[in-house]
Structure 1
Amino acid sequence: MGRKYNIVVFGAAGFTGKHLILEIVKTLDEKDEQFSWAVSGRSTSKLDVVLQEMSKASGKDLSNVDKIVADVADRESLRNMARQADVVLNCVGPYLLYGGDEVVQACIQEGTHHLDLSGEPQFLEKVQLKYNKDAEESGAYIIGCCGFDSIPADYGSVYLENNFYGQLNSVVSYMQIKKGTKVTKLNFGTWHSGVIMCNRFFETFALKRKLYPNPYYKFQYKVPYRPIVYCEEVQGWCINLPFPDARVMERTQRYKYYNEKRRPIQTQAFMRSPNFFLAILMAIGSLLLGILAQFKFGVRLLENYPRLFSMGMVTKDGPTKEEMDSPFSFTLVGKGWDKSTKPTSDGLYASPPNKTLILKVSGINPGYGGTVTIMLHAGLAIIKERNLMPSKGGVYTPGTAFARTSLAEKLTRHGVSFTLTTPQ
């Protein structure tokens, strides 16, 4: 696009922003990856401190990295940031609380692409309802969930479909986080986003009705809903996760059905538990936390005592490197019909699915390492593979936006691998 910076990191002083800076520095050390970048936030002095910290952490002098002052309370400052960038990587969350809407508006007004890490379906779907037409007209790609949520599951399901060579009927994603040198912990910002999402849970029903007023495709061989299931492919008990991955995956499929007039696939998302007993406890605990988050006093408790209610998994100080460096994987099990099985004239099949293909997306440090790797290379895909993305701007899911790009190959080279296997 010929602007001053290819990439601007908004919210660079935050925990995720710092890790994104380190990922940028590491990527720029590669000969085949060159791009211009800057950092942005409310305070120049804070950005200076962050760049000094990241200089020590990376071993590179970052004192000359350009800084852009931008504050969600000052819309003109947001527009000034957006007009200087090809892509804004927005690391400021929860997006429902901290100006996600204003940053999206500024990017659309300046024709700038915007990626975020939101796992909040209320924010993501409100943005689609409010700004899709404006984004189309400006040429800006507005793409949410561009990290651990939900590129492995959503973009992964599209990648699996592109390599299925037949008719895919369903994709079920099973997320697993293995124990590293220490028990994996989360930053408070991630927890806070989840609390706000639960607090506004019932908004999701009205949003879905507004987004999709027309009848949807009626699947012939339906995958039943199960709150807990044993999965052979990951050798463990798994609990159903309706948000955010499942919701984002469904939006991708509905776009394909309504906008591209193509047959959608069924999608579900689960998380693996170490055993059946813990799966039951996790399901009950999630339900109780969701109920508690419906009340103001409950939200205050969850915000003020995250360590207590997360059983020590959340820290306001941010996790240490050892507490983050845990292996993660998404096992996506795709089932459908092989190429030799033909449907009838009305598109139906006389027998159940007869083919299975499995995609495993794996990496290290799901919350911050894997997330910033995914986010950065998704942003670079817009810059380098614009011709392979949808023909016009708009509000898209990752699966729709990056379906034809080489994002999987880029991520595999940078530590987040995509591996296809056929079960014997």
Structure 2
Amino acid sequence: MAEIDVMSRLDLVIFGATGFTGMKVVEQLATVAKKYPAMTWGVAGRSEAKLKALMADIGKKIGEDLTGIRIILAEVTNERSLRDMCEQAKVLINCCGPYLMYGEPVVKAAVEAKTHCVDVSGEPQAGSAGRSPLSKKHPKDLPVFEPKLRTRSTIHKLEDQWCVPFPGVDESVVYRTQRFFHDHENQRVIQFKTYVKLGSLCTVMRTGFAGVLIALLSKTAPTMKLLLKYPKLFSGGMVTLKGPTENVMNNTKFTFELYGVGWDKNTDVSGKPNKKAVVKRWRSDNWSSIS
């Protein structure tokens, strides 16, 4: 397939559109696209039949005719198909996981096709330093700045709620961005830590016990098979083979809180921060919006 001129490419292409996360991204994009009639987009995946069925279902759900949306066939194990897909997009949204296994070929194809590529990875293994396909570009650690951000105890209290370290990929993603700003714009690195509020100490203890139990069961092949076969049983109903239902997602709320301290402009930043804490809160009434 001849390389498509950048100006004739689709604005967005969603790869892995028929997966659980991909379907939610397609639905959100199809809804938002109503406000931007000039925006062009498409969906990509292995099965043309599944992609057509997806577009029909979402079109019916939001009351839009999506038959004109371009469908692109691409397979993560087929480099040529990935390259052809990327050459049809200005920006590729990669929803095909797990990224630790399938992320690198897509990134490689996007780079070769001069296509911007983003993903929705929340996988700690794929996002942590040394495990990402992009980590080889940053062999050196970031410099350590003073004063150093204090690491809180594993279990601590904040605003009358008990907190523990958040085991997600957020911290790694933030520091990758900070590395870019430091290396290319000579900016001071923002120090960042992530925690999750669990409310009561009893909830913390129950969560910790469940985490230890699952970690132990995952150590051997027989018990790992049990975990994969009966996730609902071992997670107390929180994880299922089919994923959360629409009802569960629509009734699951979360709050993102950001606390920050710093310095006024033209102030010596080697000393203690002199600016009051900044608190920002974002609330969502639908779990799927986290995608």
1:348 corresponds to which letter in structure 2? S
CA deviations 1:61-108 (Å, max 9, x no partner) are: 2223221111112111111111011111111111123x2221111111
1:348 is aligned to 2:270: yes
Deviates more, 1:58-67 or 1:280-289: 280-289
Equivalence for 2:150: 223
Residue 288 of structure 1 and its aligned partner are, at CA, apart by 3.6
User: Which residue matches 2:257?
Assistant: 331
Q: Which residue in 1 is equivalent to 2:226?
A: 301
Counterparts of 1:215 and 1:20 in 2: how far apart (Å)? 33
1:183 corresponds in structure 2 to: none
Q: State the match for 1:21 in structure 2.
A: 26
The reply on whether 1:108 has 2:111 as its aligned counterpart is yes
State the distance in 2 between where 1:248 and 1:288 align: 28
Instruction: Tell whether the 8 Å contact from 1:237 to 1:273 is kept in structure 2 after alignment.
Output: yes
Tell me which residue corresponds to 1:118.
121
**Greater Cα shift, 78-87 or 10-19:** 10-19
Q: Which has the larger radius of gyration?
A: 2
By how many angstroms is 1:52 displaced? 1.7
Instruction: Tell me if structure 2 keeps the 8 A contact 1:9–1:91.
Output: yes
Residue of structure 2 in register with 1:64 after alignment: 68
Is the Cα–Cα contact under 8 Å of residues 55 and 66 in structure 2 kept in the other structure?
A: yes
Q: Closer, same or farther in 2 for the Cα pair 1:296/1:253, shift >3 Å?
A: farther
2:3 corresponds in structure 1 to: none
Rate the CA distance shift 1:242–1:302 in 2: closer, same or farther, 3 A. Answer: same
Distance of 1:359 and 1:263 partners within structure 2: 21
> Which digits, 9 at most, give the CA deviation of each residue in 1:167-222, with x for residues without a partner?
xxxxxxxxxxxxxxxxxxxxxxxxxxxxxxxxxxxxxxxxxxxx453562143253
1:299 is displaced (CA, Å) by 3.4
Per the normalisation by structure 1, the TM-score is: 0.61
| Matching of residues 149-164 of structure 1 within 5 Å | none
- 5+ residue gaps, structure 2: 1-5
1:137-286 matches, cutoff 5 A: 211-214=138-141, 216-232=143-159, 235-286=160-211
Question: Do structure 1's residue 318 and structure 2's residue 243 form an aligned pair?
Answer: yes
Tell me: CA distance 1:335–1:291, structure 2 relative to 1, closer, same or farther (3 Å): farther
* 2:10 equivalent to 1:5: yes
1:221 to 1:77, Cα distance in 2 relative to 1, 3 A? closer
Q: Aligned with 1:103: secondary structure?
A: helix
For the residues of structure 2 that align with 1:228 and 1:63, how far apart are their CA atoms? 52
Shift in Å, 1:117: 1.2
Aligned twin of 1:413 = none
- Residues 12-35 of structure 1: CA distance to partner in whole angstroms, max 9, x if unpaired? 1112222222212211221x5631
Evaluate the alpha carbon distance shift between residue 338 and residue 287 of structure 1 in structure 2; reply closer, same or farther with a 3 A threshold.
Answer: farther
* Partner-residue secondary structure (3-state), 1:61: coil
**1:369 matched to 2:289:** yes
One-letter amino acid matched to 2:19: G
Describe the shift of the 1:274–1:112 C-alpha distance in structure 2 as closer, same or farther (beyond 3 A). Answer: same
Cα displacement (A) at 1:352: 5.5
In structure 2, how many angstroms separate the alpha carbons of the residues matched to 1:286 and 1:224?
Answer: 21
SS in 1 for 2:168: helix
Is the CA contact (8 Å cut-off) linking 1:121 and 1:244 kept in structure 2? yes
Q: Matches of 2:224 and 2:237 in 1, distance apart?
A: 18
> How much has 1:291 moved relative to structure 2?
4.1
Residue 9 of structure 1 and its aligned partner are, at CA, apart by: 1.0
- The 5 A counterparts of 1:407-422 are none
**Contact 2:261/2:273 (<8 A) preserved:** no
Secondary structure (helix, strand or coil) at the match of 1:314 reads coil
Tell me the distance in 1 between the aligned counterparts of 2:89 and 2:25: 16
Q: Distance in 1 between matches of 2:53 and 2:186?
A: 51
Cα distance, 1:309–1:106 mapped onto 2, change above 3 Å: same
Change (3 A) 1:89 1:362: same
Q: Structure 2: which amino acid aligns with 1:45? A: A
Q: What residue number does 1:180 align with? A: none
Once the 2 structures are TM-superposed, how far is the Cα of residue 298 of structure 1 from its aligned partner? Answer: 4.2
The one-letter code sitting in structure 1 at the alignment partner of 2:150 is V
Contact 1:239 1:283 in 2 (8 A): no
- Root-mean-square deviation (Å): 2.3
- Conservation of the 8 A alpha-carbon contact between 1:79 and 1:107: yes
Aligned mate of 1:359, from 280, 284, 287: 280
| Cα distance in structure 1, aligned partners of 2:26 and 2:180 | 33
**1:92 partnered with 2:18:** no
